[in-house]
Amino acid sequence: MINLTGKVAVVTGASRGIGKTIAKKLHQAGADVVLVARNRELLEKNAADLGAAMVVSMDVSSADEVQAGFKEIIREKGNIDILVNNAGITRDNLLLRLKEEDIQQVLDVNLKSMFFTSKSVLKPMMKQRHGRIINITSVIGLMGNSGQSNYAASKAGIIGFTKSLAREIGSRNITVNAIAPGFIETEMTAELPETVQKEMAESIALGRFGSTEDVANAVLFLASDLAGYITGEVMNVTGGMYM
């Protein structure tokens, strides 16, 4: 049984979807969870569902907001043991129709944010000579996908970032790993037409979409002592859609 009692875990994108389930899972394992996203109302509702949890509203693509938000977390909690970089967006279109702002926004929210949040936790983690950084990338960052060049580039970038940071701070006993989910049942995928959903499910060895729980279980493992000798890895949670 994984026990994270006494650990402070920050989860970005915890207002809904995968991030909400990750926060719940870490809380159930005993961690003191801090919920981060822009929508404060949803964060407070999720925190209340957990019993009690700190919520911090910030736009993770803003260096200033991240710096201020993490300062507040460290002031309140004293340290941060686990950082889950999960916040992400899509702005899909074929390259010929992709506007510059759609490229910029996706790179900023999905990739640039990880530089800001990770930088904010390094000092406390280095001081305590322990830390776990878990970055949510996507199978699309490994496979590519028509209509998602901006998203795929941001998610592939996360993998390079993860491996570089893992090398940079491994000697301080801080691990940095990525999780690449496949098609996960969330509001995002529920909007796809039934025929598309069926086609997608057929490309998955296990023959079905994953759940937010499937991703959260992988996060829980990487956050735990069981994964102490794993760093710089990309763990696919795709049901065999990509091998």
Catalytic residue IDs: 151
Segment contacting ligand NAP by CB under 6 A, of 81-89, 91-99, 198-206, 225-233: 81-89
Q: How far is the CB of 26 from ligand NAP (least distance, A)?
A: 15
HSE value, Cβ hemisphere, 13 Å, CA-based, for 110: 26
50 contributes a contact to ligand NAP by CB under 6 A: no
Q: Are 113 and 155 in contact (CB under 8 A)?
A: no
Q: How far is the CB of 15 from ligand NAP (least distance, A)?
A: 4
Q: How far is the CB of 34 from ligand NAP (least distance, A)?
A: 13
Q: How far is the CB of 109 from ligand NAP (least distance, A)?
A: 4
Q: How far is the CB of 21 from ligand NAP (least distance, A)?
A: 8
- Choose, by CB under 6 A, the member of 73, 82, 87, 159 that binds ligand NAP: 87
Angle between helices 100-107 and 149-169 (to 10 degrees): 30
Residue 169 or 215 having the CB closest to ligand NAP: 215
Residue 174 or 184 having the CB closest to ligand NAP: 184
Annotate each residue in 1-40 with x if it binds ligand NAP (CB under 6 A) or - if it does not, as one string.
-----------xxxxxxxx-----------------xxx-
Using CB under 6 A as the binding rule, the residues of this chain from 155 to 194 that contact ligand NAP are 181, 183-184, 186-189
Pairing of strands 54-57, 174-181: unpaired
Cα separation, 33 vs 11, in Å, equals 7
Judged by DSSP in three states, 176 sits in strand
Strands (E), 50-204: 54-57, 82-85, 131-136, 174-181
Using CB under 6 A as the binding rule, the residues of this chain from 94 to 123 that contact ligand NAP are 109
* Residue appearing with tokens 């993998």: 159
DSSP secondary structure letter of residue 110: I
Segment contacting ligand NAP by CB under 6 A, of 56-64, 74-82, 142-150, 169-177: 56-64
Strands (E), the chain: 8-12, 32-37, 54-57, 82-85, 131-136, 174-181, 234-237
The region, left, alpha or beta by phi > 0 then psi within -120 to 50, assigned to residue 120 is alpha
Residue 61 or 118 having the CB closest to ligand NAP: 61
Of 120, 112, 50, which Cα lies nearest the Cα of 80? 120
Cα separation, 14 vs 139, in Å, equals 20
Judged by DSSP in three states, 181 sits in strand
Residues that bind ligand NAP (CB under 6 A): 12-19, 37-39, 42, 59-61, 86-89, 109, 136, 138, 181, 183-184, 186-189
